[in-house]
Each structure stands twice: as structure tokens, then as C-alpha cells.
Amino acid sequence: MSASRGGFSSRFGFIMAAAGSAVGLGNIWGFPTQTASNGGAAFVLVYLVLAFCLAYPAFMAELLIGRYGQANAVTSMQKMSRNLWQKRFAFIVGFSGIICASLILSFYGILAGWMMSYAIEPITSVLGYNQASSWLTSQSITRNLLFTALFMMLTISIIRRGVENGIEKWSKRLMPMLIGLLILLIIYVFTLDGSREGFAAYLNPDISRVFEPDLLINALGSAFFSLSLGTSVMVIYGSYISKKENLVTLGAQVTLIDVSIAFLAGLLIIPSMYVAQAQGVAIFGDDGSLISGPNLVFEVLPTLFNGMGAVGFFVGFCFFVLMSIAALTSSISMLEGPVSFVVERHNIERKKATTFIGFGIFIISTLIVLNFDLLFGFVISLSTVYGQPLIAMLCCVFVGWIWQRSDILAEIKQGNDEVEYGLFWKIWPWYTKFVCPSAIAIVFFHSL
């Protein structure tokens, strides 16, 4: 870790930052929503298997690239290259990841802005400002732009402070808060009528659905989005880890936290829906499936909170604060990708680069808000359905086919002397070389 570029000061700091990037709207909103629309527990089961069997190995590949290169995604991959075409390939893969992270941030900032406006609404309601409340919870260009700008300003202010004082410090504060809030909310929902039925729907898989192609594809996509793969983010976070750390266990710990929080979020949201049903809210669509998508978070849950009386304001506030925190620890990682590239490759001072890039991404968000129907879904598909799997696959190809096996071993051995005798080294290299790229390619071509 070079003194000039900074790095995580502790193992706990890295785990909180990487888990902070991984745990986001994808876990707390996306995963339960996908579970609701893909047959409940069967989806949960497939997601868990794919997260550990495919996303974790790909995640390790990205962390290793970064720790080896000790630099931004492009430079790190170029350090592994041995000839001109490999260097060009490295540039394309690394740079595409950076663009992908920027595009994700441009729509993620809008979603996070909605979460923030819904977090403020219980306060205006309690104070009796009904007009403000209805403005905060209805779609409008002004609300969307204002809250996206607010969220981007928070993201920029953390990244301007650098790795240790920005990313690490804030992840260490926000992540424990997030986990605590999540557990409190689950305990509360557990005490309400109807929640048992929800737990059953969430935890008893219908095994016959496990091999449905759509279910498999959605589960893999969610796992990749959730571990922030294919966006240069884990490469740059990997580059801030000390060479003394055992990367294999660190990666496994982060994956475990990410998957557990997605699981916990499902444990909160699916039973909440059944509680809402017990209170008379319709939770099944016309086709008999559970309501999912934006309606779930912005209609079903707020109706549930309203039905709880005075305590509902507080629960609603906590829920949307939780969402906003989860979004913030992810958005800072997205901004770090392009910022580290510009700082290291073009020698621009960090604070300037952060403000400049953050503002540029906000301009893209503004274009999306102004042309919502045309651009919102398009940018999401471009970056998450096509971009992420393709770039993650190319990272695996890079590690499996271009990086020398002896160099990979030398890198993993740092901080983990015994690695070559363990199970990880027996499986992971060929897995990353053959299984990961082919499995990702199958998903990718299917989504085309």
C-alpha cells in the first residue's frame, strides 16, 4: 500500500467498506423484490448457491487484480499484461468497468434520492405539513432533481476525504447502524399478525421451480449486482488492502455478510407484505403473483406503516433511513472507481477530480430524470444486464488466461502462506478459467 495513494488502515475497515459497497439497494430492495416475483424460497435457495459458487470466485478474481496492481482498474490490469494487445485489452476491460460504475451511479443516485425523500416524509407528516408530505412522495422533476443532487453531494463529500478518512471511516459508522436497524425492524415485524405466513412463504422452497431458466438468470444477475462485480469497484477496493492480509478469507467474509444481509432483508420485506395483507392491503397482482418492483417499497410498505398508527411514522422513518444508508455506502464505491483512475492516470488532485466527476455523473442523472421513460430503463439494462456480466466475465478471462499461474499464486500467498495446500487453490484457478466465464457467457447470451 503506497503512502501517497492511501489504503484501508485495518481489516475491519476493509470488510465494512467492501460489504458496504456490496450491501445496497440491490440487497434490501432488489433481492426481496426478485424473491417476490420469482416464487419465494426457491429463488432464495438458488441465489445462495450461485452467490457462493459463481459470484464469490469472480469477486476473488477482481480483488486479486487490484491487490496485485496496487492501482486503479486500468493500471492494475495493465500491470498483469505482457504484450501490447494484452495491454490494450486491459485498458478496454478496466475502462469499461469504470464507465459501467459511473452509469450505475447515475441511476442509483435517483433511486437513492427517492429513499431520502421517503425518509423525510414521516417527519413532515408528524409536523402536519401535509402538502410537503404529498410532494415528497409523488413523482416530480423538481423532487427527483433536488434529492438526487442532495445524495450526490453526500457521496462526493465522503469521497473527497479519501480512502481512510472518507470511505473507511464512514463505512465503519454506517454499516453497523444498517445491520442494527435491519435486525430491529425484523424483530418488530415478527410481533405483528400475518408475519408467520410470510416467513413460511419465504423459507419453504418449492423445489420444482429451482431449475426454471428465468429464475436462474435473475438469481445470477442479482448476485453479480450485489457483489458489485464488473464495475472496477472491487478491483480498486482490493488495491487498498495491505499485502499482509489473507485475501481468501477476507473475500469469503464479505460475501457472507452480503448474502446474509440480502437474506435478512427478505426476512423483513416478505413477512411485512403478509402483515400488510392481514391489514387489508392487496399484495397479489392480477396474475396471482406477489406484488414486486417499485410498488412494493413505495406503496405496500408505506400503507403498512400508516396502518400502525403513531409508531408507524417511526418505523417508516427507520426503514427509509436504512435504505438511504445502504445506498450511500454503495454509491461511494461507485464514485471511487472513476476518481482513482483520473487521480492516478492524469495527476489531478483528488478533491478536484471528485467534484468534477461527481458533477458529471449528476448531469447524466439529470438527463435521465428529464427523459425518464426513454432513459431510466435503458441505462439500467445497459449497465447491469449487459455491462456488468460481460466485464466480470472478461476479468475472469484475464485472470484465468492472461495472468501467469505462478504470479497468481505468489500474490495469493502474501498474507496466506499455506494457500497452495488448501481447497481454494485446488479449485479456484480452473474454476475461474473455465466455469465462471462459460456460466456468465450463458447468462449473458440468454439475456440478449
CB proximity list for 95: less than 8 A, separation 6 or greater: 73, 74, 341
Query: Helices in 279-416 by DSSP H: which ranges?
Result: 294-295, 301-306, 310-346, 350-370, 372-380, 388-397, 405-413
Residue 228 lies near ligand PHE (rule: CB under 6 A): yes
Q: Residue 22 or 379: which CB sits closer to ligand PHE?
A: 22
**Which region, judged by CB under 6 A, interacts with ligand PHE, from 16-24, 39-47, 68-76, 357-365?**
16-24
Out of 50, 120, 167, 233, the residue judged to bind ligand PHE by CB under 6 A: 233
Residue selected from 26, 97, 221, 358 as contacting ligand PHE according to rule CB under 6 A: 26
Q: Is 334 in the site for ligand PHE (CB under 6 A)?
A: yes
Using the 8-state DSSP alphabet, how is residue 290 labeled?
A: B
Residue of 34, 35, 124, 226 that binds ligand PHE (CB under 6 A): 226
Counting contacts by CB under 6 A, is residue 101 touching ligand PHE?
Answer: yes
**Residue 251 or 429 with smaller CB distance to ligand PHE:** 251
Contact window for ligand PHE (CB under 6 A) among 182-190, 300-308, 329-337, 397-405:
329-337
Total Cβ atoms within 10 A of residue 230: 31
Cell output for 385: 444486464
User: Which of 348, 381, 335, 301 is CA-nearest to residue 233?
Assistant: 335
Residue 25 interacting with ligand PHE (CB under 6 A): yes
Q: Which residues, 6 or more positions from 420, have their beta carbon under 8 angstroms from its beta carbon?
A: 409, 413
Q: How far apart are the first and last CA of the chain?
A: 40
225 binds ligand PHE (CB under 6 A): yes
330 binds ligand PHE (CB under 6 A): yes
CA dist 421 and 150 (Å) reads 50
Of 124, 231, 255, 292, the one binding ligand PHE (CB under 6 A) is 231
Distance CA 259, CA 227 (A): 9
Residue 369 near residue 141 (C-beta atoms within 8 A): yes
Query: Residues in the chain, how many?
Result: 448
Contacts of 16 (CB under 8 A, 6+ apart): 168, 171, 172, 175, 176
Residue nearer to ligand PHE on the CB measure, 26 or 400: 26
Smallest distance from the beta carbon of 266 to ligand PHE, in angstroms?
A: 13
Using the rule CB under 6 A, give the single segment among 74-82, 138-146, 223-231, 275-283 that binds ligand PHE.
223-231
* Residue (192 or 233) nearer to ligand PHE, CB: 233
**Which residues of this protein are in contact with ligand PHE, per CB under 6 A?**
21-22, 24-27, 101, 104, 225-226, 228, 231, 233, 330, 333-334
